Amino acid sequence: MDVPAAGRNSVPAETLGVVKGLLLPDGADVAVADWDAVRGVLGLRLVLDGVECKDCVMPREHLEMVALDALRRADQPVTAVRFVDPREFS
Amino acid sequence: MPTIISPVSPILPADKQLAPLPSSLAGVRVSLLDNSKANAGLLLGEIVEALARQEGAVPGIVERKSSASIPATPAALERLGRASDLVLAGTADCGSCSSGSVQDIVALEGAGIPCVLLGTDIFDGLIGQLAAWRGLPDLRVALTAHPIGGIGPSEVVAKALSLVPVVRDLATAAAS
């Protein structure tokens, strides 16, 4: 099966807004790393620039599960969420 | 690395039931699950003292987690279950500590111990998402203005006293 190339700029704003809303209280943000609209696979990079308490932001595993659950409850076309977490590389 | 996508939608968890509440707090053993966030112990302690003075509640035990972002140990939850009729947990004033506290409360409510989570207003939405994800969307939450950490003791005490009637109403069947 041919899968169209994923686009970075076509993630629905409402989809991204649901995820950003989970992170905003801690001052964190996300950037789209990859978006497969056909399969609904959303790749995100956690942005922690300026976040004073990086450990206050949920760990990646929790983020991925909570974000997917929140997106499904908001009827967003996402089947999987993957985060790249800079804390795991520092 | 290829991504494997399941064709089956994950099933949302069935909602769990909250533990039943007492009709009043008189004689009710109120324990604390302090997640070690700054000022959490002071806030929770002031609330339970006020509930004892005003409502006749009986201060129970205090369990303090080694880190706010992890769930309580099974042993700590078991001690709370044995020694408590009501547990106040907190504080939920960051993402990871909200996640840990919600997980603790789901376990305690499942064991029949009603709980109230103390948190700050800016985490209201996240707490709701976490509670829904854990299958306990009606989790009882008492919120105060952010922050709780990083403020002086007198401010913490003032927040605690303003939360007392909220906690009392959340924790008694007569008011709920």
Positive or negative CA dihedral for B57, B63, B67, B71?
A: negative
Q: Which residues of B touch A26 (CB under 8 A)?
A: 94-95
What burial class does residue A3 get, using C-beta atoms within 10 Å of its C-beta: 0-12 exposed, 13-18 middle, 19+ buried? exposed
* B94 vs A26, A36, A62: nearest CB: A26
pLDDT for A1-55, tens place per residue? 333 444 555 899 999 999 999 999 999 999 999 999 999 999 999 999 999 999 9
* CA dihedral over A33, A42, A9, A59, signed as positive or negative: negative
Task: Give CA torsion, residues A45, A46, A48, A53, to 10 deg.
Answer: -160
Residues of chain A with Cβ-Cβ distance to B123 below 8 Å are 25
* Inter-chain touch A69–B132, beta carbons under 8 Å: yes
Confidence of residue B92 (pLDDT cuts 50, 70, 90): very high
Residue of higher predicted confidence among B8 and B135: B135
Question: pLDDT at residue B39 above 50?
Answer: yes
Q: In the structure, what pLDDT confidence band is assigned to residue B7 with cuts at 50, 70 and 90?
A: very low
Q: Where are the alpha helices (DSSP H) in chain B?
A: 40-55, 74-83, 95-110, 124-133, 153-171
- From B5, B96, B122, residue closest to A58, measured CB to CB: B96
Q: Which residues of A touch B132 (CB under 8 A)?
A: 69, 73
- The model's pTM is 0.90
Whether A58 and B99 lie within 8 Å, measured CB to CB: yes
**Chain B nearest-CA residue for A71:** B129
Tens-digit pLDDT profile for residues B111-145: 999 999 999 999 999 999 999 999 999 999 999 99
Chain segment B20-32, per-residue pLDDT in tens: 999 999 999 999 9
Partner residue opposite B133 with nearest CB, options A53, A65, A80 = A65
Residue B175 pLDDT > 80: no
**B2 lies within 8 A of chain A by CB:** no
Burial class of residue B170 in the structure, from the number of CB atoms within 10 Å of its CB (0-12 exposed, 13-18 middle, 19+ buried): buried
Q: What is the per-residue pLDDT for B2? A: 56
**Cβ pair A59:B132 closer than 8 A:** no
Q: Does the predicted interface ipTM exceed a cut of 0.85?
A: yes
Closest-CA distance, A16 to chain B, in angstroms, reads: 15
CA distance A56 to B97: 7
Nearest to B5 among A22, A58, A79 (CB): A79
